[in-house]
Amino acid sequence: MALLNFRKREEPKNLGNDAVEAFLKGFSIEVMPRTAEKVESFRDILPASTRVYIAHIEGTPIEDMVATAKRLNAEGFPVMPHFPSRIIKDKATLADWIARYRGEADVRQALLLAGGVATPHGDYHCSMQLMETGLFGDFDRLHVAGHPEGNKDIDPDGSDKNVMEALRWKQKFSETTDAKMALATQFCFEAGPIIEWVNALNAAGISIPVHIGIAGPAKLQTLIKFAIACGVGPSLKVLQKRAMDVSKLLLPYEPNEVIEELAAHKAANPDFGIEAVHFFPLGGIKTNAQWATDNGGASGKPAAQA
pLDDT in tens, the chain (306 residues): 333 443 333 344 566 689 999 999 999 999 999 999 999 999 999 999 999 999 999 999 999 999 999 999 999 999 999 999 999 999 999 999 999 999 999 999 999 999 878 899 999 999 999 999 999 999 999 999 998 876 666 666 666 788 889 999 999 999 999 999 999 998 888 899 999 999 999 999 999 999 999 999 987 776 766 555 555 555 555 565 555 555 555 667 889 989 999 999 999 999 999 999 999 998 999 999 999 999 988 778 898 887
Q: Comparing C-alpha atoms, which of 292, 304, 252 is closest to residue 7? A: 252
The three-state secondary structure class of 86 is helix
C-alpha 274 chain-centroid distance: 13
Listed in order, strand segments (DSSP E) in the chain are 5-6, 28-31, 51-54, 79-84, 109-113, 141-146, 180-187, 210-215, 218-219, 252-254, 274-280
The answer to the question of residue 304 being in a domain is no
Q: Comparing C-alpha atoms, which of 128, 137, 136 is closest to residue 167? A: 128
What pLDDT does residue 296 have? 87
What pLDDT does residue 231 have? 54
The answer to the question of residue 167 being in a domain is yes
Number of domains present in the structure of the chain: 1
For CA atoms 189, 162, 226, 285, give the dihedral sign.
Answer: positive
The answer to the question of residue 300 being in a domain is no
Q: How far apart are CA 267 and CA 278, in angstroms?
A: 18
The answer to the question of residue 303 being in a domain is no
Q: Comparing C-alpha atoms, which of 235, 254, 257 is closest to residue 185? A: 235
Q: How far apart are CA 115 and CA 81, in angstroms?
A: 13
Q: How far apart are CA 286 and CA 101, in angstroms?
A: 25
Domain containing 259 equals 5-295
What pLDDT does residue 117 have? 87
Q: How far apart are CA 136 and CA 149, in angstroms?
A: 28
What pLDDT does residue 243 have? 56
What pLDDT does residue 187 have? 85
What pLDDT does residue 15 have? 61
pTM here? 0.88
Q: Comparing C-alpha atoms, which of 147, 233, 152 is closest to residue 189? A: 233
Q: Comparing C-alpha atoms, which of 10, 13, 2 is closest to residue 239? A: 2
C-alpha dihedral over 82, 276, 17, 200, to 10 degrees? 120
Q: Comparing C-alpha atoms, which of 277, 149, 147, 150 is closest to residue 216? A: 277
Bridge partners for 274 per DSSP = 210
The answer to the question of residue 129 being in a domain is yes
The answer to the question of residue 305 being in a domain is no
Position 179: which residue type? Answer: A
C-alpha 235 chain-centroid distance: 17
What pLDDT does residue 12 have? 46
Burial class (CB in 10 A: 0-12, 13-18, 19+), 133: middle
The answer to the question of residue 306 being in a domain is no
58: domain CATH number is 3.20.20.220
The answer to the question of residue 301 being in a domain is no
